[in-house]
Chain A
Amino acid sequence: MSSTATETAAAGSIEASKIYGDGETEIRALDEVTVSFEQSRFTAIMGPSGSGKSTLMHCLAGLDRLSSGRVFIGDTYLDDLSESQLTELRRDKIGFVFQAFNLIPTLSALENITLPMDLAGRKPDKQWMDTVIDTVGLRPRLDHRPSELSGGQQQRVAVARALASQPQIVFADEPTGNLDSRSGTDLLDFMRHAVSDLGQTIVMVTHDPSAAAHSDRVIFLADGKIRDEMIEPTADRVLDLMKQLGD
């Protein structure tokens, strides 16, 4: 394993494989994927449906375990951790944003944002909280329940929650998938801002080339393998590459 990769990276995987089923029905969702995500960078993961994007992300975020290989967050290898250590790691070091249903319906927006810290019994950093909340622009809505928020607002609360505990890295699996283009763009701008101005590290799965264009680097996945990557992407270049890979 390359020690240099782990030192500068916020997270990554080394020859990570994930195999579902066995024998003839075996599916290699991840096939010896080695990748690392640098700190304070916004990385997008793209690829056709079923290429293993979500699987990779779940394994990196400690929500799922690999069949072989290793994943790490900072200098911690997840494969060695117990279930409860993984839970603590998710709580303290990782932020996660799903495509939908990110919020606990019985808690207010603010409570949802502070949930991981409340679970840890930690006091949120007031200044950082103010920064995050102002960036998301939800201050007047903090007391509202999720059911009283629009889909875009809900996703922004979810991103705010992911950032609130100042995690090592934030994973977002198609965070804009359920949003209209306007709300989607707002959310992406916000994430971009969190990386550029607040120094956060974000990894995002997306199908949308223009969403990917907000990132610093795009990784292309197909059949559980990394096929290509692109630095400083634009929507057009991403689209071109996708067409190319599709052939």
Chain B
Amino acid sequence: MFRVALKDILARKRRLVTTGLAIILGIAFLTGTQVLSGVLKESIESLIGTSYQGIDAVIRSPEEQDLGFGQKIRSPIPEALVAQVDEVSGVRKALGVVETTSAQLVGTNGKIVGSNFGPPTLVYNWLNDPLLQVGKLTEGRIPTETTEMVLDFTSAKDAGYKVGDQVTVSSQKGSEKFNLVGLMGLGKDGTLAGGAKMMFFTTPTAQRLAQLPAQFNYIAVAAQEGTSQEVLASSLATALPDAQVVTGEKFTRENQKSVSKFVDILTTFVSVFGYVALFVACFIIYNTFSILVAQRTRETALLRAIGAKRKQVLLAIVLEAVLVGLVASVLGLVGGVALASVLKAFVGTLFTVQSGLPTLTSRAIATAFIVGIGVTVLSGLVPAWRSTKVPPIAALSDVAVDRSSVSRSRIIWGTLFLVGGTTLLGLGLADAGPNPLVLFGLGAVLFLVSVAVILGPLIAAPFSRFLVWPFTRGTAITPRLAGENAARNPRRTAATAAALTIGVTLVTLIAVMASSIKASVESTVNSTISADFVINSSTFSIGTGIPTTAVVEARAVPGVALASPVRFAPFRLTDSYSQQQAAAKPAKEQQSLLGAGDAAPPGEDTFMLGVEPKSYFEINDVGTTAGSPKDLLPGTFAAELKEAEKRGWKLGDKVPVYFAKTGVQELELAMTFDQNSGGGSYLLPLATFEANVLALFNTDFVVYIKTEPGADLAQVRKQLDAIVADSPAISVQDLGEYADAQTAPFDTFLAVVYGLLGLAVIIALIGIANTLSLSVLERTRELGLLRAVGMSRKQLRHTVIGESMIIAVFGTAIGLTIGIIFSFALSVVISADSPGIFKYTLPVNQLVIITLVAALAGVLAALAPAWRASRLDVLKAVSSV
């Protein structure tokens, strides 16, 4: 029996590869990202390791605030502390370090270098100590004058600067020029690139750019010969009880971890698509094996007739699945390494990656084999089991054709699955259970499986016939044959289409959500902001922003009625409700910190806006209010009604709030509003804001401009443009442009997601091609007959292509339907959460394009099988059995 199975497989080598192709792609993707992430992490870690090698201890503020989206910000420490540290025994050298993202590098082309998604741009002060200074000079000299700077060599090249040039740097104080006196790089000899764009200045300049008057981000300490990091750290901790001390080693590890975490998130994100691809591959394997088993019915029956046991028949097919899985895993691994190499070359343009081919980790190999073989065998089990039910008598029957039909149990099971899936989806959406996301995912899979695989066959035949119906008027026979061919095996058609359904469902879901979010943002902006222009900054980096002078200048522009600045800063709510919330959260991982721990009281980190009450509420519609903007005096704040109610605050209450600069402050709730126009739940009058936040945040992130009635808008805009002309990151936008700018980052994300989902679609195409090839093989005799009675090669090709298009459109139609249902369900939940904001919008154009692309994809998938079918030798085909 083993030999029979093996012979079978070897006789069908090519099919082995095409069947495995889907698995190969999935595995390649999965292991490729895994291998790459390993390489990246190692490279980054060694880069950071060598950069911070000379630092034996770091002294910093114990206060740290969460900015959300994974970013944290630590309070600065006073400059005077450096002298104190210098006194401590065991210290060879202590230097204050400025390390912020508060300025941008402007290239020779006048544009900001880098994007919001790439590695950050950092402002440093150059440390006059070869051990404490990160990296080495590669050219020129260190900055000694306040007008001088050093750049890392990669950024200098990207921006188009060389030593001796005037470099433009943009900060919230506007653009400035510096003399580029040297270049530097990371590593022992300065030859490594770090990815981040690094700008080094003299300490006073760096402090000015970083908004750190007489302050540093941390102090880097080098130990005296013979003093260990631990000893140094503990003597520092005793000497400076209010500061936090960490050893150099720990500091390095912290930095490595934060970057590794980012790589991990990225890897997980990309891996998700690998899993989607494998899920799609399951359908293809299942389908291919179903067809093979059906076609081999006669052979199987013959084996059974001559005495093979059921178990042996089952084993033979499982064996084939194992072999397919094995081959696919090996090829997938090879593909993974290839993919990783290509990606590595790309990443290598950003920063120095270890040289050589990415090596396979044992984990990648294990993943490949377990997933590859596991998926193949699992997908092949059902068809294998079905094959054991072939009675020996079937050997005597005429043709072995998969005549799947629709049974009653299919309807029952399909309905059960559908109800189960819908229930789980609902529970997930309703945030029930410990892990709603898992419930939602599970529900989505069940729903998809029930519709695509179990119920799909019920509608496959009528759908196929319906689709070709408009084309079958008169004597047109090819569409009719294509439709009938797709309809003759509803189960096969449905299972093949299902692979495409998954990709299309996801694409549709994302497309609908994206267009809805865009529409929502647009409508929110248009309905709640009555500004004519907005001065907006294109960078997200903390510390960059619109110079505070801009609003003053804008007010002086003739025709401007109102110019309303808005600022942004993190703060911590420390009222009793927030403290409870914080306590309910899982405890932070224990940090082996010396000196002061987190000095701030527990509470919830969130953010607030600093606004000018008089103008802000003129321009922004915040709905019904209690209290009035006039009440927003220094020491007060306004909150969204929903939040105030949740926390049990009433007008006039004093709410304890923690600020990094001023510690805990009692603020009086002077006003509530019920419509958060996407702006934020907590509004502080600028007087309160300015007094309490770090200088870093005392910069406008947006300025709303309202003109006087009858003002010449073009003229006003021209003058506003002039105000921000020397800051390339800052621009003047009208409301439409402003709304677009809000959703622009989203487009990049979407492009990436679509690209990755393309993988699932490609795999689905392979599936369609595979099914068609097998069907063509199965119908050889019929095709020969058609050719014999006068069907031309072209007509035959069109028949096969037509069938493929039907399958593709069928899969797409179901995918569109499910995608729209899912997205609608999500929108209902979102709307229930925040009524009136979410605008469910179907991107009709995009959905039409998706359908057309799918139909076109159907044509592509059919090309090879159609060509092969049309080349059949008529006589041989007619006389084949």
Residues of chain A having any CB pair with chain B under 8 Å = 58, 61, 63-64, 83-84, 87-88, 90-92, 96, 98, 101-107, 111, 114-123, 161
Contacts and interface: CB of A to CB of B under 8 A. Distances in A.
B410 interface: no
Interface in B740-791: 781-782, 785-791
Interface residues on B, range: 20 to 34
Contact of A92 (B480, B785, B790, B791): B790
A103 B399 CA distance: 14
Given A87-B792, A101-B782, 4 more contacts: A63-B874, A87-B790, A98-B878, A119-B789
A92 B791 CA distance: 11
Given A84-B793, A101-B781, A58 B481 contact: no
Contacts of A104: 481, 782, 785-786
B484 interface: yes
A160 to B, nearest CB: 12
A106 B760 CA distance: 32
Contacts of A101: 781-782, 785, 878
A91 B481 contact: no
Given A101-B785, A104-B786, A88 B792 contact: yes
Contacts of B476: 118, 121
B488 interface: yes
Contacts of A116: 789-790
Most A CB within 10 A of own CB, among B487, B787, B792: B792
Contact of B793 (A83, A91, A117, A118): A83
Contact of A90 (B475, B488, B788): B788
Interface in B95-142: none
A118 B477 contact: yes
User: 6 nearest interchain CB pairs?
Assistant: A91-B790, A106-B484, A118-B477, A118-B475, A90-B790, A116-B790
A88 B791 CA distance: 8
A58 B875 contact: yes
Contacts of A106: 481, 484-485, 487-488
B520 to A, nearest CB: 49
B189 to A, nearest CB: 70
A102 B875 contact: no
Nearest to A61: B788
Most B CB within 10 A of own CB, among A83, A90, A104, A122: A104
A117 B875 CA distance: 21
A120 B792 CA distance: 9
A63 B788 contact: yes
Contact of A120 (B484, B786, B790, B878): B790
Contacts of A96: 788-789
B209 to A, nearest CB: 76
B795 interface: yes
Contacts of A90: 788-790
A121 B475 contact: yes
B790 A98 contact: no
Contact of A117 (B475, B485, B785): B475
A58 B481 CA distance: 26
13 contacts: A61-B788, A63-B874, A88-B790, A98-B785, A101-B785, A103-B785, A105-B488, A105-B782, A107-B480, A107-B481, A111-B480, A115-B789, A119-B791
A64 B875 contact: yes
B789 A161 contact: yes
Most A CB within 10 A of own CB, among B484, B788, B789, B875: B789
Nearest to A91: B790
Most B CB within 10 A of own CB, among A90, A111, A123, A161: A90
A58 B877 CA distance: 13
B473 to A, nearest CB: 12
Contacts of B789: 90-91, 96, 115-116, 119, 161
Contacts of B874: 63
B481 A87 contact: no
Nearest to B783: A104
Nearest to A93: B790
Contacts of B791: 87, 91, 119
A174 to B, nearest CB: 12
Contacts of A84: 792-793
Nearest to B782: A104
A154 to B, nearest CB: 12
Nearest to B477: A118
Nearest to A147: B403
Most A CB within 10 A of own CB, among B476, B787, B788, B875: B788
Interface in B685-736: none
Interface in B237-275: none
A104 B878 CA distance: 12
Nearest to A118: B477
A115 B799 CA distance: 14
A92 B792 CA distance: 12
Contacts of B487: 106
Contact of A119 (B484, B485, B795): B795
Contacts of A102: 785
Contacts of A61: 788
A106 B786 CA distance: 12
Interface string B783-822: 0011111111101000000000000000000000000000
Nearest to B486: A106
Contacts of B782: 101, 104-105
B156 to A, nearest CB: 66
Contacts of B786: 104, 115
Interface string B664-693: 000000000000000000000000000000
Most A CB within 10 A of own CB, among B477, B481, B781, B793: B477
Contacts of B477: 111, 115, 118-119
B785 A87 contact: no
A54 to B, nearest CB: 9
B793 to A, nearest CB: 7
A116 to B, nearest CB: 5
A84 B790 CA distance: 9
A61 to B, nearest CB: 8
B483 to A, nearest CB: 9
A63 B790 contact: no
B202 to A, nearest CB: 83
Interface in B458-484: 475-477, 480-481, 484
B52 to A, nearest CB: 72
Contacts of B878: 63, 98, 101
A58 B875 CA distance: 8
A215 B385 CA distance: 54
A117 B474 CA distance: 11
A122 B787 contact: no
Nearest to B874: A63
A63 B793 contact: no
A79 B509 CA distance: 59
Nearest to B789: A116
A168 to B, nearest CB: 13
A122 B477 CA distance: 11
Contacts of B875: 58, 63-64
Nearest to B478: A119
B374 to A, nearest CB: 38
A94 B790 CA distance: 9
A61 B789 CA distance: 10
Nearest to B487: A106
A119 B476 CA distance: 7
A245 B782 CA distance: 37
A83 B795 CA distance: 14
A83 B481 CA distance: 22
A101 B786 CA distance: 11
Contacts of B488: 105-106
Most A CB within 10 A of own CB, among B475, B786, B795: B475
B793 A87 contact: yes
A84 to B, nearest CB: 6
Interface in B847-875: 874-875
Nearest to A83: B793
Contacts of B795: 119
B475 A122 contact: yes
